[in-house]
Structure 1
Amino acid sequence: MEAMEEVVIIGAGISGLATALALHRKGIRSVILESSESLRASGFAITIWSNAWKALDALGIADSLRQTHLPLQRIVAKSSASGGITAQISFSAQEKRGELEGRCLRRRLLLEALAKELPPGTIRYSSKVVGIEEDGYLKLLHLADGSILKTKVLLGCDGVNSVVSKWLGLSKPSFSRRSAIRGFTEFPQGHGFKHEFLQFSGEGYRLGFLTSDEKTIYWFFTWTPTDQDRDAEDNASKMKQLILSKMHKSNLPVEIIEVVEKSEMSGLICSPLRYRWPFDLLTGNISKGNVSIAGDAFHPMTPDLGQGGCCALEDAIVLARSLGGALLEAKFCKTEEEQYEIIKKSLEKYAKERRWRSFDLVASSYLVGYIQQNDGAVVSFLRDKCLSGILARALFKKAEFDCGNI
């Protein structure tokens, strides 16, 4: 006999946990099916900008995270070729446009903060969904262990290789031909760096450094791998050598090179950068009946604006606001068909509200990454002379978005 749940969320990442918590704040119980044995934090850190802090405030967990992570004070962009500053923008200088807040959060602390607010038993680990089937107005979920779960609402928060996105008919995310290596460096006695987002662009790569707290610096390196680089993608030592060779070739400051040199090998992660073709977001199914998606299952994007996780948190608020009210209304319906129609309309409303926002962020992130990493003479000249400031302000502009309350 199949177990029955009102709402099932697939995936216990940022999107899935935030969606479950937002629904919980609305008085709606949900179950999260997570394929791994525990919370997974792929990567050390995530940059959270103003738009995502508004979502975290709505979820009620923002203040606890602020206490353990430093606010960034400015963005400094430099040329990898010359070392000269191409843009420098202080957060305080932007105050006339509204509050700006950026912090580099430890990803695991964010996941734990979301998870601990959920009722016991919400997350079911070692629960891999291998199939989705229609059953009247319900969905049947087939798990790898042979068990079957019925649900009135199915939400896919299961990342770039989403089972739910595939069921909705969305195409696989595209490979941008770029990859990213991410790492972090601990300084037991303190790092002494300013609280800023420092990045170097040009010569075929982009390199960024963000202070997380007084003792930790998170860094990333994006580039277009050659055939010779492929071996490095699965070997931490070769990854490090690859980055350092490019840094030395660009003659970057010694103190910056030392940040990468002192990074622990175990903390290095390399991954291809994927994104959903923006026009698929406009024409594809974001929802279908009582099924929808959020986070990377919806809008995988390159990390060049630092908005992937932020956008996922926005999704959670908008989705819970729309679906939560519908589920409360559906309790008074007399038939399953009436319930289904109310749920369907709420998910369509969510999809409509998020479609253009996601299109904007995915397309803008791709364009920013292309310009920042490009080593062509014309693009490099324009970037160093005028585009860096425009791109930095674009980041602020995207971060002004307010997803509202639950």
Structure 2
Amino acid sequence: MSSADYLQGACVWSGVEIQQNPRWVKVFPPAVLDGIDAAVDKLGEIDWSEVDRDNFPLPGADAFFDDVRDELENGSGMVKIRGLDVSRYSQQQLRRIWYGLGRHLGTPMFQNRRGELMREIKDEGAGVGVKLYGATVDAAGKEFLSSGARTLSPGELRFHTDRCDVVGLLCVRQASEGGVSKLASSATVYNEMRRLRPDLHALLCAPIPRSRFGEEAGGQHVTYDLPVFGVRDGKLTSHFSLTYIENAQLLSGVRRLTGSEHEAIRMMLELAQKHCFEMRFAPGDIQLLNNHVIYHGRTAFKDDVSTGQDRMLMRLWLSVPNSRALPEDHAVLWGDVSGGMPHGGIAQPATPCMS
């Protein structure tokens, strides 16, 4: 098999390599931090949802944000930004800061059917995630949680991607134990599957049934078909969440996966684990991930409210202006598949869902 059959570039990396060469770690320039303070003071008590590039100006920050976006799209696919001292700001100020930074980086997209553009990721207690996102039962009668419900629990999150170009997380507080971020290059997984088992790799380049369970209201179709791997103009997009594949298998009228397809998914997850690395957030850290080329997961965590170590992250879903063009068959999930166009996010009740 020739090298032309494999994905190329900086998005192909192993966990060992990326830990030794943290080219993806960046630090806010002092001028940008000064600009953030000035913008916060100017905003006063404005609601965070009203923040935009005009009322949250960051003079001289364009080159920094261009560098961040370039690393996300043409580099490793991930960035960790350090330097923001979250202890200096109130919770409302942090929301304004984070949304303002998001508006400078791209276009915030809806994260759920309730129209949330920013979501706090924390343990919200038993039953909250089910109430917000829904649950069903599997073939054995056991409760089956949606992906959104799992996010609001302290449990482990399996490798997955979100429905946006870039998912951004600002760490406000970290748990006393666990809550470790696990990151893997989906481009490396793609290449390794193609090298080791081209037969299984081919199955993940073909449509796999998915469910819209717990995701969006107003959808015309409960399920849709989408490959795990898609390539256009030499660039990968891998959209994957096992929860929605598993849920589709519980529905009547949905094609059942073959034994080989199940094997392909298991191998994909095993390769992600083999080539991943782990990273623990510190308060003030910002993690940005290109969902097209990064799988992310999380270890379980334990909070200790008495010491202020109760994990809380602020999440944004962003469509970025330098995003890649996606394969035409990905319009069922992303909407507009043109490069650089706002796409992704969750369809709202008044918005016709892609069919």
Q: How does the TM-score come out when normalised to structure 2?
A: 0.28
Q: How does the TM-score come out when normalised to structure 1?
A: 0.26
Higher helix share: 1
Whose radius of gyration is greater, 1 or 2?
1
Higher relative contact order (CA 8 A, sep 6+): 2
